[in-house]
Amino acid sequence: MTRTPVIVGGGSWGSALATALQAAGQTPVVLVRNAETVRLLATGRCRQLADLPPVSPIRATTDPAILGEAGLVFLVVPVSATAAALAQVVQHAGSPDALVLCAKGMAMTEDGAALMPELAGSLVPKLPAVILSGPSFADEVMAGLPAAVTAAGTDEAAVATVQDSFAGSHLRVYANTDPLGVAIGGTMKNVIAIAAGCAIGLGLGDNARAAIVTRGLAEMARFAAAAGGATDSIYGLSGAGDLALSCAGPHSRNMAYGLALGRGETPDQRLAEGRHTVAALAARGRNLGIDLPITNGVDQVVNANAPLQQVVADLLARQAGRE
């Protein structure tokens, strides 16, 4: 039986990954929740990327039995839906060569909040989990434009399988053996992008944005080192790369969220993954005993209704230490 790549989730990133796999000569199937999405993908279109011209037809189904044929399973669902998707995989999948988690954030659990490698290790410890993360706007990938991401896992054979599945496509996949560090990079960059958006929205200029990006990267590295990840991962695609992309402009949902805050507007609460993650990151930072001034500042603004101008003033009043 042919081992099929199955993508759980037919939103923008799931559809984009399907096109990249097709470009590599694969025949992916997208598992979705409703027949209308099946019909739309069959025309080469994605509802969330309606402005793009149609691509090659994408095969989709609503039947989770397709997971039984999966050689690779890509979970491309929101962070809040990842645990349920993992349960579906356990119920229907056989023994895939790799379980690829694509969400960037922390999932709420009975014990608090878990990064994606931690969640997979808890719920599906026998499956070879791989984190796929990096600077990759879905519309550009679906349009066939080049991009590069990281596949990270402790099972090097599983990582190689993921890497090989995209060989020859416009999506370059680099291997990494530090899933925790890669997940931290993809999670924290969303929070730093909110801060960068706030700075631009307040009219503080590009110098301030550059300072936030650079000092935010330092926070990400401190967090990774304290949590057991590798700081090298933070300076790679999933950290510095994704941070640079997310802070470049309003194409990034997290940057757009921060821009709205800085302009005194009410942002769409659904826009930004960082808005839903920052409290858990700040709490983990306190538990680890590390200094995360930008992360804590964003947490105060979005979760404690702290005045943005005052939070900025407090950050600027901090004693500058060694770089």
Integer Cα distance of 191 and 277 in angstroms: 8
- Report the sign of the C-alpha dihedral through residues 133, 134, 136, 141, in that order: negative
Taking the CA of residue 270 as centre, how many other CA atoms within 13 Å lie in the half-sphere pointing to its CB? 1
Tokens found for residue 134? 């990096």
* DSSP single-letter state for residue 154: S
Tokens found for residue 126? 């026998």
Tokens found for residue 14? 């799931």
> 């890497």: which residue's tokens?
163
- Reported as type and span, the H/E element at residue 5 is strand 4-8
Integer Cα distance of 111 and 25 in angstroms: 42
Are 261 and 201 a contacting pair, CB within 8 Å? yes
Phi, psi of 306 (to 5 degrees): -70, 140
Integer Cα distance of 100 and 65 in angstroms: 18
Residues 6+ apart with CB under 8 A from 189: 104, 216, 220, 239, 242, 243, 246, 254
Task: Report, as residue numbers or ranges, the catalytic residues.
Answer: 189
Which of 144, 133, 140, 106 shows the shortest CA–CA distance to 122?
106
- Residue 319 three-state SS: coil
